[in-house]
Amino acid sequence: MSEPRTTADLVGHDDAARTLEEAALSGRMHHAWLIAGPTGVGKATLAFRFARWLLAGMPPSPPGETPLFLPESHAVFRRVAAAAHADLFTMAPNTGEKGKKEVLRAEDARAAVRFMAMTAAEGGWRVVIVDELDRAEREVVPNILLKTLEEPPPRTVQLLVSAAPDRLLPTIR
C-alpha cells in the first residue's frame, strides 16, 4: 500500500474532493474538517491531496482530472512527499516494537498547537493533518487541540482523519 503523503491518485472520493475544493475557492472555508470512514479507503490520501493543493496556491484542476489535482512533478508535491514542507505539520501514531501502532501523544499535539501559532513560512496556508485521531491518548490530545478548533488561527486548516469517529469527543465530531 502506498504512503498517503506520496500518493497522487485519489479513487472514489471525487465528491469529497470537490466539496473541499469549492469550500476553499469560496473564501469561506471551515478551519477544520473531519475525514471519516473505514480503514484503508483513502482518508489520509484525501487529506494530503487537499493539503498539497492548498499549499500550492489552489491551482485549477485540468479538465478531466479529479478535483484538487497537483502533478507529482510540482515542487509542493515533492516537498510534501518528502515531509519537507514548512507549512505542513502531520501527526500520526508511531509504529512501535513488533510493528504495533502506538497512540498519538500529547507532546505531538502541543507541537501542532505551537506550529499553528506561527506565521506561514511561505505566506499562504498552514495545514495540520492528524491521522488516526481516534488513536489519541484518551482525551488528552483532543483537549489540547480543542482550543485551536474553537479559536482557529487565521489561514490554518486542520484535517482530522479517523476510522472511528464515534470514539472522538462530541465537540470534535
Pair 94, 57: CB distance under 8 Å: no
Of 60, 86, 83, 61, nearest to 10 (Cα)? Answer: 61
User: pLDDT for 81-126, tens place per residue?
Assistant: 999 999 999 999 877 677 677 888 889 999 999 999 999 999 899 9
What pLDDT shows up at residue 18?
94
Residue 70 has pLDDT above 70, yes or no: yes
Pair 45, 66: CB distance under 8 Å: no
Of 63, 88, 62, nearest to 77 (Cα)? Answer: 88
Residue appearing with cell numbers 484503508: 40
Q: Which stretch, 1-15, 25-39, 71-85, has highest mean pLDDT?
A: 71-85
In angstroms, the CA 20 to CA 10 distance is 14
What pLDDT shows up at residue 51?
98
What pLDDT shows up at residue 111?
94
Q: Please, which residues bridge with residue 160 across strands? A: 34, 130
Q: Domain 12-167 maps to which CATH number in 3.40.30.10, 1.10.260.40, 1.20.1250.20, 3.40.50.300?
A: 3.40.50.300
H-run or E-run covering 34: strand 32-36
Residue extents of the structural domains in the chain: 12-167
pTM score above 0.85: yes
